[in-house]
Structure formats: structure tokens, C-alpha cells
Amino acid sequence: MSAPPPGLLPQGEEEKQAPSPCGRGLGEGTTTVIEAERVAQRFGPRTIFRDVSFTVRAGEIFVILGGSGCGKSTLMKQLIGLLTPNEGSIVIRGHAITGPHGAAGRHAMLREIGVMFQSGALFGSMTLLENIMLPLEMYTDLPEPGREAVARVKLGLVGLADAAGLKPAEISGGMAKRAGIARAMALDPPLLFLDEPSAGLDPITSAGLDRLILDLRRDLGATFVVVTHELASILAIADRCIMLDRAAQGMIAEGDPKRLRDESTNPSVRAFFRREVLEAETAR
């Protein structure tokens, strides 16, 4: 039996109102940024997951992990308001995005989040600069020179200052991921969602992306929710994580991934961490 995970405080209400006296050493207090309670998703007769509950705190890098098809992207779509859960409630930065006022909550939340989808989703006919200027055009009154200046700053942040004039087909996979992150940051959102930022990248490029995420968190103080199944990434960046499992149709672990790796007694959690560790060792 493991101890109750620290994120599942029954007194969630109190935590929202006042910073907890027992901070987690991030220097950010413990303001709750995301509160998901007993969330479920079904497609037709099929339950993808149920009873998924967790809290994300300001300044954290929070990872959603698990094998392919367990519902990571589905959960992320619920968190960004693209999919309404069949059950449960989600509050993002104080906005209830489910329930009777969910539509208003989702609308209010949109300006406060940035999203990088699994597919990257850059527009192929536009340069990187134009791709990053697009959200600024849609959501701000900035004149064009201002939009361009902001977009160039974001490209600089992800190390693509010199690639502003290139189109997505002209850049590498790693650069496209960086550009996707720059676009997600266009509006300076305090909360960023990244779906599989390192999928399909070689280990060195992937490690560079992990460093970028850590640097951005340090420099911007933003909160990150990152979906990934890459163990090296998880161990490098995650303050805390939850693990979803397809067979269990829900969450099977929550906490510091290093502790889960070393201490979990759940066979599926152990298999996830051990298999990947063995693969990494044999690859060397």
C-alpha cells in the first residue's frame, strides 16, 4: 500500500484560497492552477478513463504519462476545453470549464493558455514568423510591426531567431517543435500545454527540448503540463506526474517520477519505468 499522493488533498477548497504553509520548494507558493476531479471520458460504449483527479500548482512542470492509447491526448483536450468530460469537473486558473458555466469558463481561459498539439500543426504556407504572428493577429490589437517584434522575441527564446523566414517544410523536426512552442507562447500565457514535444526526435534533440522547457519555466515562471511517454524526458523535467493506464481505464500513479521509479509497487508502473530503463541501458 502506498501513502495517499500529495496532490489529492481532500481540502482542495482551502488550498485554492490561501497559499499552503508547506510550500514545495519551488518558491512559487502552492497556488492551484488546475484542479481536475473525478474526470471521465467515454467514446460510445468504451470508457477511456474514469475517476481521474489531480492538482497542478503554479510553476510546476506536470507530466501526463502512460503508454500509447491510454488517453493522454484525450485528457489534455479536456483540460484545454476542446472536449467536455462525460463526468467530473475541471477548474483552470479559477475558471470552471465544465458544468453549467463551462462555456464562459472556457472562453475566459483561452487567453490564459498556450497549446502545442501532438501534430505540431504549423501552417505550411506561412513562414515561422508568420505562424507565430497569427495568434497575435487573432487575439490582440497590436499593429503589424508590434506583432512582428513580439514574434521575433518568441523565436529567439526557442533558439530560432535565424529561421524566422523559413517555412515548416524547410526545417528539421526539432526546429518544428521549437516553433510550435514559440507559437504556444505568443500571447505570454501563464499556463502551457505541450503534447509529446519530443516524440519522433533523436535523443540529443529531445534532451535539448527538455532543457528549453526547463529554461522557459525558470525565465517565464510559467506552469507546464507536458504529455509524454519518453522516460528520459519525464525524469529530466517533471516535478510531478500522473500515469494513465489503458487496461485500468484511469490513473494508476501520481507523484514525483523518480520516487515512482524507485518505490512504486504497482506492476504496471514498475514495468513502464523498468522497461524503458533497460532499453536505455542496452542502447548505450
Ligand X SMILES: Nc1ncnc2c1ncn2[C@@H]1O[C@H](COP(=O)(O)OP(=O)(O)O)[C@@H](O)[C@H]1O
Q: Which does 43 bind (CB under 5 to 8 A by kind): Mg ion, ligand X, none?
A: ligand X
Q: What residues pair up with 91 in beta bridges, in sequence order?
A: 35, 96
By CB under 5 A, is residue 121 in contact with Mg ion? no
Beta carbons of 280 and 231 less than 8 angstroms apart: yes
70/122 with CB nearer ligand X: 70
Q: Which stretch binds ligand X (CB under 6 A): 12-20, 66-74, 135-143, 163-171?
A: 66-74
Q: Is 18 helix (H, G, I), strand (E, B) or coil?
A: coil
Return the sign of the alpha-carbon dihedral for residues 135, 139, 144, 146.
negative
Count of residues touching ligand X (by CB under 6 A): 10
Among 73, 84, 86, 140, interactor with Mg ion by CB under 5 A: 73
Residue whose C-alpha is closest to residue 59's, from 219, 254, 232, 228: 219
- The DSSP line for 189-251 is -SEEEEESTTTT--HHHHHHHHHHHHHHHHHH--EEEEE---HHHHHHH-SEEEEEETTTTEE
131 binds, among ligand X, Mg ion, none (CB under 5 to 8 A by kind): none
- Which of these ranges, 61-69, 107-115, 138-146, 168-176, lies near ligand X under the rule CB under 6 A? 61-69
Find which of ligand X, Mg ion, none residue 265 binds, CB within 5 to 8 Å per kind. Answer: none
Q: What Rg value do the Cα atoms of the chain yield, rounded?
A: 19
| Contact pick of 33, 34, 39, 48 for ligand X (by CB under 6 A) | 48
Residues that bind ligand X (CB under 6 A): 43, 48, 66, 68-74
Residues that bind Mg ion (CB under 5 A): 72-73
